[in-house]
Each structure stands twice: as structure tokens, then as C-alpha cells.
Structure 1
Amino acid sequence: MLVLQNVLGDYTAIKAQDVQIVDTLNSFQTLSFSFIATKENEVAAKMMIPMTVIEVPENKQKYRLLTANSAKVGSYLQYSVTAVHIAKDMHRYYRESRLPQTQSLRACLDFMFQGTPFNYVITGDFPNFYFSEGFGENFVDELLTQCANDFKFEYYFDNYTLHIAKQIGKDESFVYVDNVNCAKISVSENYESIATHIIGYSNPKQNDSEGSTTETTYEQRIDYTSPIVESANWPVIDATPVKYDQVLDNDTLLARMKASLQDYPQIQYTIDSVNFKRFTRIKNDISVGNRGWLRDRFGIDVNTRVSSITWYPQDPSKTDAITFGNVMLDPVTWSVRNKQAYDQNVNLGRNLRKTLEYQQRINAEALESQNEIIKKMQQQINELQNADNWQSGRLFVDLSSNNGKQSANWYQKLHEDNNVEGVMIKITESTSYINELFNDQREKAKSASIKLVGVYHYLTALSVTKAIDEANHFVRQIQAANLSSDIIVAVDVEDDILPKDKAKLTAIVQAFNKTVSDAGYTKTCDYAPLSWFDARFDHSAKYQWVAAWGDNKPSNADAWQFTKDFAGYELDCSKSYNQAFL
């Protein structure tokens, strides 16, 4: 549940799904969620207007509505909503004037926040800063970013209160060891921006010539080369020189130069929270800015820091993620990694030799079957060329685990003796069932030259939410089977447990079909007995597959299941009246 407040001060609660918060160091938190505008969310839907504030009870933070996109799902609208932390309201305020050059941090913050609802708390001392062109003439949020860069501080917001420190977070707050209290640590390394040498300037000389446009000259110049050049045998790589229009002593200028020189790779570690929710032997304190230890895939202990958290405060089943910020690796670490890389390359060479031998055998087999592949491709071309001669009434059967595991000869007889050209196979039911015979049925049908027309899901959902869950289960199994997006994807609507209310069942079927179509499988199909269409639910899929046993074809049917005892078997059989099927 979330709490909404509109610009008039009216409040309402909203029942939302997929509530996600992204919290990143020195950035504004973002919020996203979705909801269906049912009767209980009717007021909330009307509050999807500019200036609405959303509060999350779990962290008591407020967010300003940014976007609210809606789409029809059955009889209701489904909203996808994004919001940004209330601190972004700073962008409402523009400072036209400028403070003169040398200023304290407090003077800058007072100047920024005057006449706004924002306040601040500073932890630690910060020296004054010299602004060569003064401070101001910008939006308050942009001025905050400038202050953070110039005064060298970090910050976070507690609603309207800005908290500032030289470094936020706590030390020694977590330990994650691969396969001990987490199952997977992902590593991202970027070497593009490494530099090892930099020149810095400060203390500009006074120019006595009025109106002069000559380039500024500086009294102090320092040339610095990173020690990693000598210790790790790295080359000298120049960085862009830095220039400060301030009076700095030698140590201060050198410190700033070192801070701006990136003489190490950009390295990030990520852990999915599903791992550390399961492993609880080591307790950890996770907040943005906190520091602790990881043991990475190389078995090296790395001191790092939480830079971003993506979490789902209202759904413990969702996978949270933590990103640990850039870390510096010393030369000893690089040496250890190089030795491990060498050992791994030796093993890789052995494995590669075996792989090449295996690939040679595969290539020989592929060469033998090449003519057969060309022959089949030519058959497909001929079928496309003859599409204008298409005839309706072509036969296909539908199979499930209820039909059992049949022999290859059984499929061959269906095709050769009974003119069966296609098959629809049940692949899933509800949110967990999978037809364990699916692969066997598909492969034997293929061997008998029976085309896979499509797959279907047996629907048991009693709500729109469950329908979406079932559709996602269906899609996952289609993807796992590596099926084409061009096949028929049908939903079997016939179970007696389904809602008797027509509007509710219509919304359930529509939600199922939309989820499947959004996943890229657009040839959706409603299967149901003839008496269910229109009476029990409104057809919403691209195609209709109608069960009506007998001799009379239903009108508007793209496919007609006309018998359940085909060719002397207990076997459902249908006729195609649309080329999408056969």
C-alpha cells in the first residue's frame, strides 16, 4: 500500500504492485510501481495528476509524481507510474543573483534554501571555497551539485532535510563471501578511462592590463606520476591537466590532482538480494554509502562500498540488487590475478583441444545432412509459392499428457492414414504445471512430418493478477523450449472453477492474452466450448478456436474442434479455417 496526496491536501491509499525504489549515492531516489484502477483504486486513479505526492510507508519518504501511463486490461485501466524523491522540488527555485567569490558552505546553503521548505544538517568541517565567478544564477538542485563537487562532500535527503558529510555511511558494515553467504557476485570492469600522469596548476597571476584577453598564467605547477607506473609496470598515460583559479598550497594542489586522476579501473560488484536473503550466517548492514568486504571470484578480499540499492519494499519475493561502487586494486592484487589467469589459460587450452575435436565430428555429421536440409528448405519454398492455393479444413490434433507417451509409428499413422497435418500441444497449466511429455510429443510429430501449429495453456486463474502470473509461466516455458514467435499461442478457457461473472472472466482472459502478446507472441488464440463464447466471456485474442462436436461448423471460427474420438482414438481433432493454423 502507498499513500497519495494531491495539491489540495487530499489523501488516499492505493493498492500497488511491483513497488520499486532505486537509491543511488549522491542522487535522488526514484520510485516506480503499477496498479489496476479497480473500485478500491478508483480515487487513486483520479489522483494521477500533476503535483501529486506519493509516500512509501516502509521508508517514510515522499516522492513527486512524474509519469502515469495507462493501458486497457479487460474492463480496467492498468497504470505504470514513476516518481522522483521530493528533494527534486529544489528545481522549482532559481537563484538570479550571485554570492561574491569566497564563501562558506553554510552561506551557500542558506542562499540556496532561503524561501524553500528545505533545511540542512552538516556533519564535519569544510573550508571556505573560492568561486572565481561567484556562486549562483542557477536552479537550486544544480547549485547543490556544484557545492558537492567544490566542497567535496556527499549527501542524502530525508524528505526535505539535506544531510551532508565528507563521507556518508558506516565502516565494516558487511562481509560477503562467494558460496558462503551469497551465491553469486557479478563483476563489471572498465579500463577505458585509466590515466597515470597529470599536471596541475593553481595560484593565478594577476593581470594588470585592463581589458586583456590573454590566457591565464599560474604561479604554481605540479607534475605527478602515479606510483602504479613503477610498481605494476604500467605505461605513462596522460590525463587532462587540471587548473584551479585559487590560491592553494603545494599539498592541497597535489591532493586534488591525485583525487582527479583515475589510475585504476572502474570496477563494480553486484549481488542479487535473493542470494543474501537465503544465506543468513553472516549479518550485514546494507545502506547506501556503507563500506565492507567482498571476496570476489578470484578469491581476493576487496574493500568496497555500497553505491546503489534497488529494492522492493512491499514484495519479499522480488529480487533486490546491491551495486558496490568503484574499488582500487593494488599491484599485488593484479599479480595474483595474472597468475590465476595463466593457470586458467592452461586448463582452457586443454579444454579447447577437446572442443575442437568434438566440433570436427559435428561438422562431419552436418555435412552429411546438408542435402536433406536443402531439400526441406526447397519444400518450404514450394509451400510458400503455393500459398494462394490454400484449402480450408486441414486437420490438426491437440495433445496433452493425458494422451500418454505414444510410439513414433502412432504419429506416422495419424499423418499417412488419417491426413493429420498439424498438432497443438498443451505445455502449461496454472502457475507451476509443465507437460513433461511436451518434448517427446513435439519431436515425434516432427519426425512424422506433422507441423507444430502451436501450444496452449490450461487456464485456472480467478483474478487478473493470477492470469498475468499464469501467462508469464506460459511464456517462460515457450522461451525455454526455444519456440518461434510465429506459432499459435492459445489459452484453454473451459474449467468449471473459472468465474461465472462474465466481466470478471473477460478481464482475466484479456489480461492473459495481453501479457503473452507483450512478450512477443502475438498470434494469441481463445479456445473454449461454443457455449462459452459471448455467454461466459468476450473473445479478445487474435483467433478463435471453437469446440463444437458434430457436423455444423460454428460461424467466425478460425479453427473448429469437431470431435473428441478421432480415427478410433480418444483424441481431439480440429479443422483449420485460417492459414495461421494450417
Structure 2
Amino acid sequence: MNDIVIANFEQTKEEILVGVDRDSFFENWQENETWEVGFLVMKTKDNAHSFDLVDYESSVFWNGQEFIIKQMKDYAVGAQRFKEVVATHVYYTIQDGYQYEQMTGTFSINQCLSHIFAAGARGFSYEVINTNGVFSRIEQENFGGGNYLKLIDEVLSDYDAVVIPDNKHLRFYPRSYYGNETQEQIRYKFNTDEVHFEIDTYSLKTQIRGFGKKKEDDSYYFSPITYTSPESAKWGVRIQDPVSDDRFTVASSMSARLRRDIHDYPDISGTVNIKWAIDLNRGDKVTFVYEPLNVCQMIQVVGLKKYPLIPNKPPEVTLSNNKKTMTNILAGLKKKGVL
């Protein structure tokens, strides 16, 4: 079992933290939204030194990652003293950097990230995992003029990317190309009774057209390609915005791109409470079966809340197959009175 280690802000003192209420300890990750740990610790004769290190801006080291205490409640019950804290992953200290300069043009994700960190790395490094050249160049207008976290959030939205921090090293993945396809299954009335989700077909499309690169005489290397999904037999022809990408000079490559880009399925987002522990990690794809609505679809894990100090306690899992952020998902559920 991993130890919880606490260090002061100056990083001059470090202790293993004992006396933590095991039932209170949690680790919460939500894709592109938050990563934090929280716990309640009671002062005892065995942890007098480490207890005093628990303070605002102190570092909590858990499972190889550093978290910074940003919220804390310090109180006493009779003669007994307690501290209740929430510590946010060190990645989020990136908001303390600011890029004043702006740029306009058509840029790659690498160029945008390079522009952000041109104002100073602040101890951070990054890499882009551009599987099969999925990331396209995007037109940007006045990109900059914000803190690093705000600008990275813009990059994640514009390029449909996911950031996975490893302390201060950041890996940027195309949303569709991180996590593993698992054999695990989440099935209503089998390993979960409590399901909160929403399904919508606003973005469901069954036909898309692609335009490749033009030659100097203004003709295309290949004629525009139209792909019609087999789902059109069920939903009819619903036309998606076309793809126009001058990187493509071969028709077969564009055809593969259109098959990948077509959004020919309903969007599903929701949270489930699992009855027992299952092996799921960030970004994993899991089969979600909800028979009352005839749902059986591979959906991605976009949120995990774990209780690692409680043996066999299952996680709370958030699933989604669309591009909404967790903030939008939860706001929508609250608005509908589900949460």
C-alpha cells in the first residue's frame, strides 16, 4: 500500500503522514477538469510533526504524484484537533504562468503549446501524442493573452484533445486515442442499480463529404468524396459539416478520415455507482448495457472517484461517448433535476 507523504511549501521538511481517516481518503479525476485527493487527519502523539506540515500550499505525495493543498478546514472537537483537506494535482499550478503575447493564423497543436510556454516553462514539459496524424491545423485568432491553464483549456477544446499529467510532464492525446478497450462491462441490475445519464441525438449525422488538397490549377487531386453511414438506413440521411483538409492528396486516406469522423451514434453521458470493484483506468473503454432503453455501447471512462484506502470499495465512474466536458454534463443533469 502506498504511503501518504506530506512536505512543507519550501520542500525542506517531509514526513509520512499517519493518522489519516481511511474512510475519508479519496482520489478524484475528471477528464480535463480536475484531479485531486482529499482526506481527514487527526492529530495524535504519533503524527505531531507530520500533522503540523499539513497546511495551505503544502505538498501531498500520493501514488507517485504531487498534489498541492488548496482547501483546508482546521478545527477541534474538545481537546482533539482535526484537519480536513483537499489537495489539487500540481498540474493546476500551471495557472500561475501568463502569456501576454497573442498570435493569429492557422496553427498546429504543437505551435499553440510552444507559444504558451514561450513565456517560460515554469518547470513543466510536454509532448503531443499525435496518433496517425489525427490533430489538424486550426485557425486561431488572437491566441494568447491568458494564464497558461486557460490557454491549455482552449487548446483542449479546439483540438479535441485530452491532457494526462505526470506531475509536471504533460501528455496531450487525441480524445479517441487514449485509454484501453477493456473486457469489463457495466450492466444495469448486474453490477449497478444507480444510473444517472442523458442520451441525445442532436449531433447524430449519417452522411459527410470530404475535400482534399487543390492543385495549382485549382482542381482537386481527387474528386470530393461522400461517405454515407450504414446507420442512415435507421436514421435517414443527416448531413454532417464537411471536412476540408489540404493534407489529403489520396482518396483512400480521405475515405478513412470520413469513416472515423462521422458521428453516427447518439451521445450518451452519465454516472454509475458500481456494486463491486472493477479494474478501470482513465480513458478506458467499457461496454455499458442499459436494457430499459436498449443501450449496449462501448463508452469511455471520463471520470473516476476512488477510495484506495478502503479494501474492495468500488469507484464512482463517469462515462461518456461524446465531446462534452464534465462541467457541461453535470450542469445538464442538474438542470433536468436528475442530480
Whether TM-score is above 0.5 comes out as: yes
Partner residue of 1:137 out of 145, 149, 156: 145
Match of 2:298 in 1: 303
Alpha-carbon distance in structure 1 between the residues aligned to 2:71 and 2:112: 32
Spell out the pairing of 1:304-383 with structure 2 (5 A cutoff): 304-316=299-311, 318-326=313-321
Spell out the pairing of 1:90-489 with structure 2 (5 A cutoff): 90-113=94-117, 114-124=120-130, 125=133, 129-166=137-174, 167-176=176-185, 178=187, 183-184=191-192, 186-191=194-199, 194=202, 231-232=234-235, 264-268=266-270, 270-272=272-274, 274-276=275-277, 285-298=279-292, 301-316=296-311, 318-326=313-321
Match of 1:60 in 2: 64
Contact 2:302/2:320 (<8 A) preserved: yes
- Deviation, 1:72, is 1.9
Contact 1:22/1:310 (<8 A) preserved: yes
- Deviation, 1:29, is 0.8
- SS at 2:57's partner residue? coil
Alpha-carbon distance in structure 2 between the residues aligned to 1:129 and 1:148: 13
Alpha-carbon distance in structure 1 between the residues aligned to 2:314 and 2:75: 26
- Deviation, 1:129, is 2.7
- Deviation, 1:136, is 1.1
Match of 2:36 in 1: 30
- Deviation, 1:306, is 1.4
Contact 1:168/1:290 (<8 A) preserved: no
Whichever of the two has the greater Rg, that structure is 1
Alpha-carbon distance in structure 2 between the residues aligned to 1:316 and 1:2: 16
Alpha-carbon distance in structure 2 between the residues aligned to 1:266 and 1:233: 20
Partner residue of 1:11 out of 10, 14, 19: 14
Alpha-carbon distance in structure 2 between the residues aligned to 1:132 and 1:177: 40
Q: Report the CA distance shift for 1:188/1:327 in structure 2 as closer, same or farther (over 3 A).
A: farther
- Which blocks of at least 5 consecutive residues in structure 2 are unaligned? 209-226, 249-253, 324-339
- SS at 1:101's partner residue? strand
Paired letter, 1:73:
V
- SS at 2:76's partner residue? strand
Paired letter, 1:312:
Y
Alpha-carbon distance in structure 1 between the residues aligned to 2:69 and 2:93: 11
Alpha-carbon distance in structure 1 between the residues aligned to 2:280 and 2:205: 36
Alpha-carbon distance in structure 2 between the residues aligned to 1:317 and 1:132: 47
Alpha-carbon distance in structure 2 between the residues aligned to 1:164 and 1:288: 14
Alpha-carbon distance in structure 2 between the residues aligned to 1:132 and 1:306: 30
Hey, which bits of structure 1, 4+ residues long, moved more than 4 A? 177-180, 195-198, 224-230, 246-249
Alpha-carbon distance in structure 1 between the residues aligned to 2:242 and 2:52: 54
Contact 2:106/2:137 (<8 A) preserved: yes
Q: Report the CA distance shift for 1:187/1:227 in structure 2 as closer, same or farther (over 3 A).
A: farther
Contact 2:305/2:316 (<8 A) preserved: yes
Q: Report the CA distance shift for 1:5/1:303 in structure 2 as closer, same or farther (over 3 A).
A: same
Alpha-carbon distance in structure 2 between the residues aligned to 1:49 and 1:91: 20
Contact 1:54/1:62 (<8 A) preserved: yes
Alpha-carbon distance in structure 2 between the residues aligned to 1:300 and 1:265: 11
RMSD: 4.2
Alpha-carbon distance in structure 1 between the residues aligned to 2:281 and 2:129: 18
Contact 2:276/2:313 (<8 A) preserved: no
Paired letter, 1:289:
G
Contact 1:55/1:61 (<8 A) preserved: yes
- Deviation, 1:195, is 5.2
- Deviation, 1:230, is 6.5
- Which blocks of at least 5 consecutive residues in structure 1 are unaligned? 201-223, 278-284, 329-582
Contact 1:310/1:320 (<8 A) preserved: yes
Alpha-carbon distance in structure 2 between the residues aligned to 1:69 and 1:161: 30
- Deviation, 1:24, is 1.8
Alpha-carbon distance in structure 2 between the residues aligned to 1:21 and 1:127: 31
Calculate the TM-score normalised by the size of structure 1: 0.43
Alpha-carbon distance in structure 2 between the residues aligned to 1:133 and 1:31: 37
Q: Report the CA distance shift for 1:230/1:300 in structure 2 as closer, same or farther (over 3 A).
A: closer
Calculate the TM-score normalised by the size of structure 2: 0.69
- SS at 1:289's partner residue? coil
Contact 1:189/1:265 (<8 A) preserved: no
- SS at 1:116's partner residue? coil
- SS at 1:39's partner residue? coil
Report the identity percentage: 16
CA displacement, residues 420-448 of structure 1 (integer Å, 9 cap, x when unaligned): xxxxxxxxxxxxxxxxxxxxxxxxxxxxx
Contact 1:193/1:262 (<8 A) preserved: no
Contact 1:197/1:225 (<8 A) preserved: no
Contact 1:154/1:168 (<8 A) preserved: no
Report 1 or 2 for greater relative contact order, CA contacts < 8 Å, sequence distance ≥ 6: 2
Q: Matched residue pairs, number? A: 291
Paired letter, 2:281:
S
Partner residue of 1:89 out of 73, 90, 93: 93
Q: Report the CA distance shift for 1:288/1:168 in structure 2 as closer, same or farther (over 3 A).
A: farther
